[in-house]
């Protein structure tokens, strides 16, 4: 046996505790120092580990959790097989719907450069429903409401729900991505009726910064309205999970700690409200470990920023126990699809509205026509991490699956330089130590 290439060995608490973590199995095991030394020596010297060298029960646990393995190539094939099954499954669909591309804001970082005033018609809704209901293997659907600003099309959301619920009787999970600005009594009624279980609301920093980014002619305090709307939603629909996504650049990153503390105060005692940093990266010039772009985070800076937050007791999804991304981004799956208000289809919601990236358009019978094979093939198969020599040998691959597919495709076909690496890269033991401390604190 050898130490798997997906294994990380590290000590904690000044060399008093020792751990082995494997990205393929997502297993974390505490081990004794003698066994730890054996594993480290084997890894460094590239020699096999003898069964007689350690406790048999521990040996079995290490093997079952892939920390030691017979062959790294077989482990990669195990990962590859998992991804292949996910890509070809037809029982579940991630359906993204943009009922409008309209929005009252003009955020400087927004990739949606193709906003229109159009709203989804009943005819387009009927075509989408026909398209979905002809997928006979389909059992479960996850709907993401997107835009533009989807809450500006709340009547379209309700109409689609009424139509769809008459034609589809199986499981539906729904979430929505919104600015949180357009929330009133009717909106909450519809959100509850439709069964939205999660809402992502975007903030851009503290009040002054947010209001400069999301500025409207009336000079209304948009920040305060959104904060009040979050509490109103939490009061009226307490089971809805609200994730406040804070877009960060180097210019406003210093405000995150202030905002975190403000939210702790404003939302104290409330459940199902969480804050998470989201890093605005330079989609054209950033590199994983270099570059001097003034306003945008680089890979190392991003990881160190998250760890610094954790050291100050500020929670974020990044410092929770890692989740292996065997459910690779839906763009690679044949059933996943997005539709704009005009019935054009896309594989990735980041390009909704840009007809150059449409893979086709629905006709009145729910059949995808005007197929753009070049775009479809790129997004299903292009810049595949499974075929990438660097990704194939990377210890982090099971955690990130090569990163965002659309950014990989941009790098290959549009000469961009997006960083696709996980924030864990180069820092995984540091992230795991926060999890270990949290779990030990619960005992």
Residue 370, H or E segment: none
Q: What is the pLDDT of residues 335-383, one digit of tens each?
A: 999 999 999 999 998 889 889 999 999 999 999 999 999 999 999 999 9
Predicted TM-score (pTM) of this structure: 0.92
pLDDT classification of 108: cutoffs 50, 70, 90: low
The set of residues, in sequence order, having a beta carbon less than 8 Å from that of 280 and lying 6+ positions away, is 109, 247, 248, 249, 295, 296, 297
How far, in Å, are 13, 124, 401, 416 from residue 413 at the CA level?
Answer: 46, 32, 19, 8
Q: What is the pLDDT of residues 15-27, one digit of tens each?
A: 789 999 999 999 9
CA distance linking residue 39 with residue 20, whole number of Å: 9
Residue 22 CA, distance from chain mean position = 21
Q: What is the pLDDT of residues 183-215, one digit of tens each?
A: 999 999 999 999 999 999 999 999 999 999 888
pLDDT exceeds cutoff 50 at 125: yes
Beta pairing, strands 337-339 & 273-279: unpaired
- DSSP per position, 395-433: TTHHHHTTS-HHHHHHHHHS--------TTTTTHHHHHH
Contacts within 8 Å (CB) and 24+ apart, 277-282: 277/246, 277/248, 277/305, 277/306, 277/309, 277/316, 277/318, 278/202, 278/245, 278/246, 278/247, 278/248, 279/248, 279/305, 280/109, 280/247, 280/248, 280/249, 281/418, 281/419
The set of residues, in sequence order, having a beta carbon less than 8 Å from that of 96 and lying 6+ positions away, is 143, 144, 146, 337, 338, 339, 349, 352
- What are the structure tokens assigned to 202, written together? 């975007």
- According to the model, what pLDDT value does residue 110 have? 63
**Mean pLDDT over all residues of the chain?**
91
């Amino acid at each position: 046996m050898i130490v798997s290439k997906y294994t990380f060995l590290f000590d904690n608490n000044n060399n008093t505790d020792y751990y082995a973590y494997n990205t393929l199995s997502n297993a974390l095991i505490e081990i004794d120092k003698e066994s730890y030394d054996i594993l480290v020596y084997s890894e460094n010297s590239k020699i096999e580990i003898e069964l007689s060298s350690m406790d048999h029960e521990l040996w079995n646990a290490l093997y079952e959790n892939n920390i030691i393995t017979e062959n790294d190539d077989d482990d990669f094939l195990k990962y590859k097989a998992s991804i292949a099954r996910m890509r070809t499954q037809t029982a579940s669909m991630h359906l993204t719907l943009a009922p409008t591309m309209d929005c009252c804001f003009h955020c400087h970082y927004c990739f949606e450069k193709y906003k229109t005033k159009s709203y989804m018609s009943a005819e387009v809704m009927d075509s989408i429903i026909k398209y979905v209901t002809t997928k006979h293997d389909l059992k479960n659907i996850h709907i993401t409401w997107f835009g533009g600003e989807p809450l500006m099309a709340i009547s379209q959301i309700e109409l689609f729900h009424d139509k769809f619920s008459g034609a589809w009787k199986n499981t539906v999970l729904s979430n929505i991505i919104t600015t949180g600005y357009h929330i009133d009594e009717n909106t909450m009624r519809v959100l509850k009726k439709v069964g939205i279980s999660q809402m992502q609301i975007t903030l851009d920093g503290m009040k002054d910064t947010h209001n400069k980014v999301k500025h409207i002619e009336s000079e209304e305090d948009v920040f305060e309205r959104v904060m009040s709307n979050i509490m109103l939603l939490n009061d009226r629909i307490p089971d809805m999970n609200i994730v406040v996504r804070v877009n960060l650049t180097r210019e406003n990153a210093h405000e995150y700690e202030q905002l975190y503390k403000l939210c702790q105060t404003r939302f104290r005692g409330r459940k199902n409200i969480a804050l998470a940093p989201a890093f605005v990266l330079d989609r054209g010039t950033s590199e994983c470990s270099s570059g001097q772009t003034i306003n945008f985070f680089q890979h190392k800076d991003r990881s160190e920023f998250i760890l610094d937050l954790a050291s100050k007791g500020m929670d974020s999804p990044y410092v929770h126990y890692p989740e292996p991304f065997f459910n690779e981004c839906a763009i690679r799956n044949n059933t996943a699809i997005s539709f704009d208000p005009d019935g054009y289809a896309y594989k990735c919601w980041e390009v909704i509205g840009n007809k150059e990236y449409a893979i086709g358009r629905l006709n009145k019978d729910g059949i995808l026509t005007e197929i753009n094979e070049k775009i479809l093939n790129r997004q299903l198969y292009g810049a595949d991490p499974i075929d990438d020599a660097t990704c194939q040998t990377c210890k982090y691959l099971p955690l990130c699956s090569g990163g965002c597919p659309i950014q990989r495709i941009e790098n290959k076909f549009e000469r961009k330089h997006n960083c696709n690496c996980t924030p864990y890269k180069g820092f995984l033991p540091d992230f795991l130590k926060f999890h270990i401390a949290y779990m030990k604190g619960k005992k």
